[in-house]
Amino acid sequence: MAAGPTAPAVETDLKQVHRSVIRGRVKTIFVCESCGNESPKWEGRCPSCRAWNTLVEFRPGRRERRAGSRAPASEVPAQELSQVSVGHLPRLRLSSTEVNRVLGGGIVPGSVVVIAGDPGIGKSTLLLRIAADIAETAGQTLYVSGEESMAQVKMRAERLGIPGRRLVLLQTTALDDVMNHLERSRPVMVVVDSIQAVYDDSLASTAGSVAQIRECTRTLTEWAKVQNVPVILTGHVTKGGEIAGPKALEHMVDVVLYLEGDPISSWRLLRAMKNRFGSTNEVGVFEMAENGLVEVADPSSAFLAERRDGAVGSTVVPVLEGSRPMLVEVQALTSPSILPVPRRIATGIDINRLLLVCAVLTRRAGMSLANHDVVVNVTGGLKITEPAADLGVALAIVSSLRDAPVAPHLAAVGEVGLSGEVRRVPQIQRRVAEVARLGMRQCLVPAMGDQAREERLEGLVSTPVGTLGQAVAVSIPRNGRRPPVDSRAIPT
Ligand code: TYD
Ligand code: MG
């Protein structure tokens, strides 16, 4: 019994002696591959995220020395807040107004930007465009490609019509190569595609692990701040969500942009998730075309381009993307079900919202959906996350059920509550203004307190509705006869 525990203890001691002799007492830390937590000693279970076997050894060796080799930090005197001048943040502007908008006006020198998104969504395409812009307007730009060969990048550049003047390509996955290159040259901007592909060989874990992503980002961020040169990284969002994805570095960088869209549709949204130099409410809209991402200046018109006014089961909803109102088309199809439990299929909206709307229509508006399958789709592969689309979804379903189109040139917005009431949504004015701009004639809006009267705005009537039943009565005739557009005539 006694020999058992002592033997490993001696072995550990020897190991430690061995380690410090070989490494000249270089401090070793252990980093969790799952959450990035640092521990002074190895443990079977991470003390922070409680995951097993995720700690890997990390020796902050060469990189620390490299960081130490930079010029000593200057003495920065403390200053009273009232004396601090904001000055003017210089920014590197891009040719794309949509990207500039999302970035808050351009790229701030010394900032670190992450462009995250699903594989194949268009991150490399966007990054190459940005790099080429900066190379054209500001000076030499370094494009580090860790995933594709030089030839592949060149082929993409040809497709995008980028000649590539002053755009320097470096194909490597070793962070050392990147840092060595940066020691010899000082570009005006560096882009790394992708952060998951590069690795720091002083770290024992594999490329793409949280420990690697964090360490590589830390090194690049440090360089960016010291040199006052911006760095843009791309990062894949992993299927399961966060592990080893861009989430692991959100807190370390200045700006996180997400490029989103349905791979089968061509629309792409660029959204600011975090921005230390601008608003996070900005959204840029693009279309993936033959020659790269083309900006969509008027998303509402583009999203409604294929809509037929008077189509059965179709409504227009003014949704908000960030602070930007956009009109999207919601379609619904109901058909008699042969199944004991009829099906509900939602594409582009949350299935739970659809179930809620169906339940409220059945119980509060007298629609018999119990024997019908219901399919709802937001056209163009767009996704609506706000409940403000509830009313539009409900009207599309009723329109299909009654086989009658909603009133022409009508849009509807409002959240549907469980008692059948139409609830308020944020920023109603902006939404209504967008509906008016697109030349529609009527917009159903939630009735707000006593302000339940119709308002006119540039040829648009906004009609307050208090309940789902009222909304249906106003917009979908039961027998082909459309009720007048006047709230006094709305049955209550
Ligand atoms: P890519 O930028 O490689 O995506 P990511 O870096 O996010 O993985 O682009 C992916 C898709 O975009 C690819 O399937 C081809 C398509 N594409 C176009 O449709 N037009 C273009 O001009 C380019 C460059 C790509
Ligand atoms: Mg790519």
| 318-363 per-position pLDDT tens digit | 999 888 899 999 999 999 999 999 999 999 999 999 999 999 999 9
How confident is the model over 470-489, as a mean pLDDT? 64
Is the CB of residue 122 less than 8 Å from the CB of residue 159?
A: no
With a 6 Å cutoff on the Cβ, whether 263 touches ligand 1 is: no
The strand pairing partners of 462, in sequence order, are 443, 455
Query: Is residue 452 very low, low, confident or very high in pLDDT (cuts 50, 70, 90)?
Result: low
Closest-CA residue to 31 (of 209, 282, 153): 209
% the chain with pLDDT above 90: 59
Q: Helix, strand or coil for residue 210?
A: helix
Helices (H) and strands (E) in the chain, counts: 12, 22
- Ligand 1: nearest atom to the Cα of 118: 7
The answer to whether residue 265 scores a pLDDT higher than 70 is yes
What's the gap in Å between 121 CA and the centre of ligand 1?
Answer: 6
pLDDT reported for residue 37: 79
Task: Share the mean pLDDT of the chain.
Answer: 84
pLDDT reported for residue 89: 67
Distance CA 129, CA 95 (A): 9
Q: Helix, strand or coil for residue 358?
A: helix
Distance CA 217, CA 249 (A): 7
With a 6 Å cutoff on the Cβ, whether 117 touches ligand 1 is: yes
What's the gap in Å between 294 CA and the centre of ligand 2?
Answer: 17
At 243-263, the pLDDT tens digits run 456 777 888 899 999 999 888
Q: Helix, strand or coil for residue 141?
A: strand
Residue 166 burial (CB count, 10 A): 17
The answer to whether residue 219 scores a pLDDT higher than 80 is yes
Is the CB of residue 304 less than 8 Å from the CB of residue 329?
A: yes
Pairing of strands 255-260, 267-275: antiparallel
Most confident of 4-8, 18-22, 69-73, 407-411: 407-411
Residue 159 burial (CB count, 10 A): 13
- Least confidently predicted of 118-122, 243-247, 274-278, 311-315: 243-247
- Between 401 and 68, the higher pLDDT residue: 401
pLDDT reported for residue 487: 39
- Ligand 1: nearest atom to the Cα of 291: 22
CA-closest residue to ligand 1 atom 9: 122
With a 6 Å cutoff on the Cβ, whether 196 touches ligand 1 is: no
How confident is the model over 223-235, as a mean pLDDT? 93
Is the CB of residue 202 less than 8 Å from the CB of residue 60?
A: yes
| Cα torsion angle, 344, 349, 355, 358, sign | negative
Closest ligand to C-alpha of residue 291 is 1
With a 6 Å cutoff on the Cβ, whether 159 touches ligand 1 is: yes
Closest-CA residue to 268 (of 280, 279, 258, 260): 260
With a 6 Å cutoff on the Cβ, whether 245 touches ligand 1 is: no
Query: Is residue 459 very low, low, confident or very high in pLDDT (cuts 50, 70, 90)?
Result: confident
What's the gap in Å between 310 CA and the centre of ligand 2?
Answer: 42
At 17-41, the pLDDT tens digits run 344 444 445 567 787 777 777 888 8
Is the CB of residue 33 less than 8 Å from the CB of residue 205?
A: yes
Closest-CA residue to 397 (of 332, 344, 343): 332
Q: Which pTM does this prediction carry?
A: 0.79
Residue at 353: amino acid letter: R
How confident is the model over 141-158, as a mean pLDDT? 95
pLDDT reported for residue 25: 53
The answer to whether residue 10 scores a pLDDT higher than 70 is no
DSSP 8-state code for residue 206: P
With a 6 Å cutoff on the Cβ, whether 68 touches ligand 1 is: no
The answer to whether residue 52 scores a pLDDT higher than 90 is no
Query: Is residue 483 very low, low, confident or very high in pLDDT (cuts 50, 70, 90)?
Result: very low
Q: E strands within 203-261?
A: 231-236, 255-260
Residue 368 burial (CB count, 10 A): 9
Interacting residues of 347 by C-beta distance below 8 A, sequence separation 6+? 375, 376, 377, 378
**Site to substitute for ligand 1 among 114, 115, 125, most atoms within 8 A of C-beta:** 125
